[in-house]
Structure 1
C-alpha cells in the first residue's frame, strides 16, 4: 500500500473514532480522572473499573479535537479486559510512538497505530496522549 493510501486510511480510522466514539459515557462506582490540555482546549473525563488487577471497563467523556477524542476512544477499546500491567505497557509503547522513539512493535496496538503520524506534529502530541495520561493517573491512584 502506498504512503498516501496508508495516510488516507489512518485519517479515516481517526475520523471514525471521532465521529463514532467507542466507550463514550461514564461508569458509576469507578476510578474517576479529569484532565485537560489548556493549550488546545481538550478535556477528558475518564472512568475506570479496575478489579483484581484487571481493567474491567473504561469509559470517557469530554470534548476536544479529533485527535484527542479518537485517541480516548481507541485507548478505552484496547485496555478493556487487560491486566493493569499490560495497560501501562500499552501506554508506554504509545508514548514512545508519539515521541518518535523506537517502540516495541510486537505489541498489537490495533487502531491506535493510526495515530503514529501525530508524532510529526509536536503541538498535537499532548492531544493524543491526554487520555493515556488520565489512564495512568487513574490506575496509579487505584494501586495506592
Structure 2
C-alpha cells in the first residue's frame, strides 16, 4: 500500500493528464457506463500475436474511474493477453478487498495501480475503479475471438 499523499498525487496526475487516450484506427471499442454515478469509458485494444500492442481509452466521470483507466493503459500496454488478464484479476482482488485466490497472482507487480488500493474501503467507489477493467475484459474477449 502506498502512503495516502503519494496515492492521491498519482490519482490526480492521471486524472489531469490521462495517458493513452483516443480511439485506435480500425479497432472497435467497448463502451460501458456506470449509471449510478454517470461515469463512462470506452476502451480499445490492439492485440497482435497475443500481446497488447496498444491500449487506449476515452471517458468522462470521477477521478477514480478516469485515473483507473489511465493507469490500466500504462500497466497493460505491451503485456501478453494472459499477463493482462492475470494482472486484471490481481487488481480486481485489491479493489474488492479480497485476497487473490491464485497464489501466482500475489507475485504480480501492481506498481502505480496500488494508488487505488484505498478504494477497497469505499464500497460505492469500487464500480468506478473497475469500470475500465470490465470494458477491457470485453475488449480482450472480442479481440481474441476475431
Gaps of 5+ in 1: none
> Aligned equivalents of 1:31 and 1:138: distance in 2?
8
TM-score (ref. length: structure 2): 0.92
Partner of 1:114: 115
Partner of 2:129: 128
TM-score (ref. length: structure 1): 0.93
| Residue pairs, 1:59-74, within 5 angstroms | 59-74=56-71
> Aligned equivalents of 1:62 and 1:17: distance in 2?
13
RMSD over aligned Cα, in angstroms? 1.4
Partner of 2:77: 80
Is 2:35 the counterpart of 1:34? no
Instruction: State how many pairs are aligned.
Output: 141
Gaps of 5+ in 2: none
**Partners of 2:23 and 2:29 within 8 A in 1:** no
Q: Deviations over 1:8-67 (max 9, x none)?
A: 110111001000111111111124111111111100011111111110001110100000
